[in-house]
Amino acid sequence: MEPWLKKMMLGVYGFVPLKCELFSMIRFFYLPKESIFRHLYFKGNFKVSVDKEHSFLMKHYGSGFAMESDHFWKGVGACERYSIDLWIKYAKQSDLILDIGANTGTYSLIASALNSNAEVHAFEPVKRTFDKLQSNVQINTFDIHLHNIALSDTVGEIFLMEEGGSNEYTAHVTKLQNPNSYLVCCKRLDSILNVNYIGKNILMKLDVERHEVSVLLGMGDLLKQLRPIILLEVLDEEMAIQLNPFFENLEYVFYNIDEMKGYFEISSVQKSFGNNIFCCPKEKVLQS
């Protein structure tokens, strides 16, 4: 298609009214292929159902925002079906929920929708992503504690480097300053949590783009003392080798999550079939 024609069509598309309502009707009868629904975008709030009784609102920002499109067309488990299934199961039973690497808030919003009694904290260091997280929390009037900081094994500032364009949400910590990096505030988790949480049911999602080791180091002795349930991103075997010592002699049970097939018990932390490993203290494992 000629660039001028594509630009003209996109301009016309922008003036089409009630797109969310129209697409909701289409979605009720028919799910388009991903290659099609990626182009069926809109701006505004839409509802995401968690189960038959619980839901939350999410804001769509228009063209190019893949995560929001996935949730609109394919539902709450669009990207990480079995990770979300486990999160839902354990969020209902939790007193304290930590969403570390919260992005625009999917996991935090699910937790708050399901369990209004839980204390929920969401950590997101990228300012433009944090702003969208904050907006999603506000339109739901959820009582989520928001932290526009990075978590690490130190207190102060660290360099963060964003990936992709303005519609992408991925960023990672880098040791070296470069033209695409900038400083963000960072804290240790043991400067935020304390021993007063001992005995509480704690659920944590840790998805910080290969900075997981530093976040766990920043817990100090609290991993042993608090024994949180952790949905842990493990992208390669090198990362798994670095993570395993944290759980030695703590009697954790591990599940490797395949987002297409389910989750399977394993003997130790290893590279995930997808993105995540589920780490649960033996005494806190819930039966199906």
What are the residue boundaries of the structural domains of the chain, listed by start? Answer: 3-74, 81-284
Q: What is the pLDDT of residue 136?
A: 98
Alpha helices in the chain (DSSP H): 3-14, 19-29, 34-37, 66-74, 81-91, 106-114, 127-140, 212-217, 222-226, 237-243
Q: What is the pLDDT of residue 5?
A: 45
Q: What is the pLDDT of residue 178?
A: 77
How far is residue 198's CA from residue 226's CA, in Å, rounded to a whole number?
Answer: 5
The CATH topology of domain 81-284 is Rossmann fold (3.40.50)
CB 213 within 8 A of CB 239: yes
Whether the per-residue pLDDT at 174 is higher than 80: the answer is no
Whether the per-residue pLDDT at 176 is higher than 80: the answer is no
Binned at pLDDT 50, 70 and 90, residue 166 comes out as very low
User: Residue 279: CB partners within 8 Å, gap ≥ 6?
Assistant: 229, 230, 231, 232, 247, 252, 253, 254, 269
3-state secondary structure of 30: coil
Other C-beta atoms within 10 Å of 151: how many? 27
pLDDT above 90 as % of the chain: 74
